Amino acid sequence: MYLKDLLRKNIREYGMFIALFVIIVIFTIMTKGIFISSRNISNLLNQTGYIAVLAVGMTLVIVIRHIDLSVGFLAGFLGAVAAIALEFWHLPVYVVIPMIMGFGILAGLLTAYPVAKLGIPAFVASLAGWLIYRGALLLVTAGTGTIIIQDKTFNAIGNGYIPDIFPNSNFLPKVHKLTLLIGLVGIILYIISAINSRKKKQAYHFEVLPTNIFILQLVFVSVLIGLITWVLSGYNGLSWTVVIVLIVVAVYHFITTQTVLGRHIYAIGGNPEAAELSGISVKNLTFVVFGSMGMLSALSGILFASRLQSATTTAGQLFEMDAIAAAYIGGVSAAGGVGKVTGSLIGALVYMSLTSGMNLMNVDIAYQYVVRGAVLALAVIFDVATRRSAK
């Protein structure tokens, strides 16, 4: 297998990386380097957080050929509930967060019920949820308007950074050393796990990448991780938001690629009837997927409320559309059965980079929507075209 064949075979996967790279280069040039500055990148990642979390959940929903429109206002509503619980009920943050996540799961199961049990299209069922949660958000904030959150721990989730080791040592001053260390550990873990899984595949005579391309891939990803952590360590280091997003992506990546559950989810997306006849319970997995979506909505709501340090009446507006767009840009197929969690993360980054870059350039908001729409359309057209040529 040659590099060219490999590229053509995986063009859909590499396409987003190329898109992200191009966008970063363009904005870096147009903003004379401000875009790539540590401060802006750190900000960008924190902004991406709540959309990325939603996009991860949305990936699974779209993979099983459904859609969930309710997640935006669900996130806003649950964020408001969190604010109320903290400010009015005076519950400790360690109780509030699991509780809100639990509410999220419940809400997701509620959306899944008409879809799985009654066969109602997810679009309709979640549109109902969209209206209901919007109303609910207005209802709970009706008396108070915007609720300011005072809790420092809660607000740190969206605004804080991980502490540094030896903050006052002379070794590498002004650089966040724990971030660098984590990046280094990440690179080492990545290399070890990649080599292990390759060895395992070879032992079972699966097809693997040729050695030189495998090494190229290792080097590329290692350099990428190294660069990102280096840039981040130049500002305040890793934010808690980024840590949470990374954990969510890692867990979901593991579930979708390594476990039977993930494989069944993709099988349902590929051919629901065949999956059903082979003994996979499509209903149960629909509940699982929507439940996880609800839980991630709750997490997204927490991240957003924490970032604004308040719950507003319009929180969560259009989040669902951003998440869906991020998933599609990230290579999730509208036809179901295809799409990666990591892809959606990249999709969210692409989407938020566009917003951030255009904001830096003072582009009019009207044009921003047009550009974002065009990128989404291009991504879907690219997906359909490469999919057709792959068959």
Partner 1 sequence: MELLSVHNLAYCFGAVPALLDVNFAIEPGEVIGVVGQRGAGKSTLFHLLSGALSPSEGEIKVDGRRVTPKTVAHAQHLGIVAVHQQFQLVDDLDVLHNVFLGRELCGPDWFPILPREGHMMQAARAMLTTFDLPLDLIEQRAAVLSTEQRQIVALARAFSHPCRLLLLDDALAVLSFARQQILLDQIKDLAARNVAIIMSSDDLKQIFAVTDRVLVLYQGRQVALRRTSESTPREIVELIVGSNRQERITPVIWAFENYYAAQQQAEELRQAQLELQQNLEEQDSLNRQLIERLHNQVEALDQLNLALQQASRRLITEREAERKALARELHDQIIQDLLSYNYQLEEAEGETADESLRQKLAEIREGIRQVVGSLRLVCSDLRPPTIDHHGLSAAIRSLVSQWSEQTGIAVELQIDPALGRLPETIELSVFRIIQEGLSNVRKHANATRVNLGLRRTSTASLIVDLIDNGQGMGRPLNLADLTEQKHFGLVGISERVSLLGGTLQVTSPPGGGLTLQIEIPSPYPSISDS
Report how far Cα 8 is from the mean position of its chain's Cα atoms: 26
CB of 264 or CB of 307, closer to partner 1: 264
CB of 39 or CB of 200, closer to partner 1: 200
Q: Which residues bind partner 1 (CB under 8 A)?
A: 200, 203-207, 258-261, 263-264, 266-267, 269-271, 273-281, 337-338, 391
CB of 21 or CB of 206, closer to partner 1: 206
Q: What is the CA radius of gyration of the chain?
A: 21
CB of 79 or CB of 337, closer to partner 1: 337
CB of 13 or CB of 276, closer to partner 1: 276
From residue 232, give the alpha-carbon distance in Å to each of 17, 155, 263, 334. 19, 20, 35, 34
**Can you list the alpha helix ranges (DSSP code H) found in 88-176?**
93-118, 122-140, 152-159
Closest distance of CB 265 from partner 1, Å: 11
Our separate counts of H helices and E strands in the chain read 16, 2
Q: How many CA atoms lie within 13 A of 114 on its CB side?
A: 14
Distance CA 287, CA 109 (A): 6
Determine the Cα angle at 241 with ends 238 and 245, to 5°: 100
Closest distance of CB 289 from partner 1, Å: 16
CB of 173 or CB of 279, closer to partner 1: 279
In this structure, are residues 343 and 96 in contact, taking their beta carbons and an 8 Å threshold? no
Closest distance of CB 387 from partner 1, Å: 11
